[in-house]
Amino acid sequence: MISFEDFILEDNGPIYLQIIRYVKRGIVSGSIANGEEMISRRALSALLGVNPNTIQKAYHLLEEEGIIRSRSGAKSCVEVDEGQKEEIRRSLLVQDTLAWVQAMRQMGVEKEAALRLAEDIWGDPKEER
């Protein structure tokens, strides 16, 4: 079951969008698999300290996007085929990376300097040479 254990509530954007983003990124990384059960709306509401209606909005939109499937009375399940997965992956990777590249460019940062900065911030656990 998707437990939302490592989910952290930010303060930058709407909560329901953060939840949708979390699920999509989980699908891309593979930590969320097809057929997996979602945590119930009430349980997630209690876990995050967020109103049930806000959770419902996120789940409803996920269903409209064809990412989860809900049967009244039972838990909602993830339902994505390989095509959807690949589309979500491509979309998120391009969106996020393009936004970062544009930010760096608008600040006049050269490509090499930007990549070096990203490498630094990544943490670099295994030092090369």
Minimum CB distance to a copy of itself, residue 124 (Å): 8
* Rounded Cα distance, 44 and 66, in Å: 20
Binder of residue 75, out of a copy of itself, DNA, none (CB less than 5 to 8 A by kind) = DNA
34 is a contact residue toward a copy of itself (CB under 8 A): no
Hey, which residues does 69 pair with through a beta bridge? Answer: 77
- The window from 27-35, 52-60, 63-71, 76-84 that contacts a copy of itself (CB under 8 A) reads 27-35
Question: Which residue, 48 or 104, has its beta carbon nearer to DNA?
Answer: 48
* Residues 43, 1 contacting (CB under 8 angstroms): no
46 is a contact residue toward a copy of itself (CB under 8 A): no
- The window from 42-50, 59-67, 76-84, 114-122 that contacts a copy of itself (CB under 8 A) reads 114-122
Burial 10-39 (b: 16+ CB within 10 A, else e): eeeeebbebbbbbbbebbbeeebeeebebb
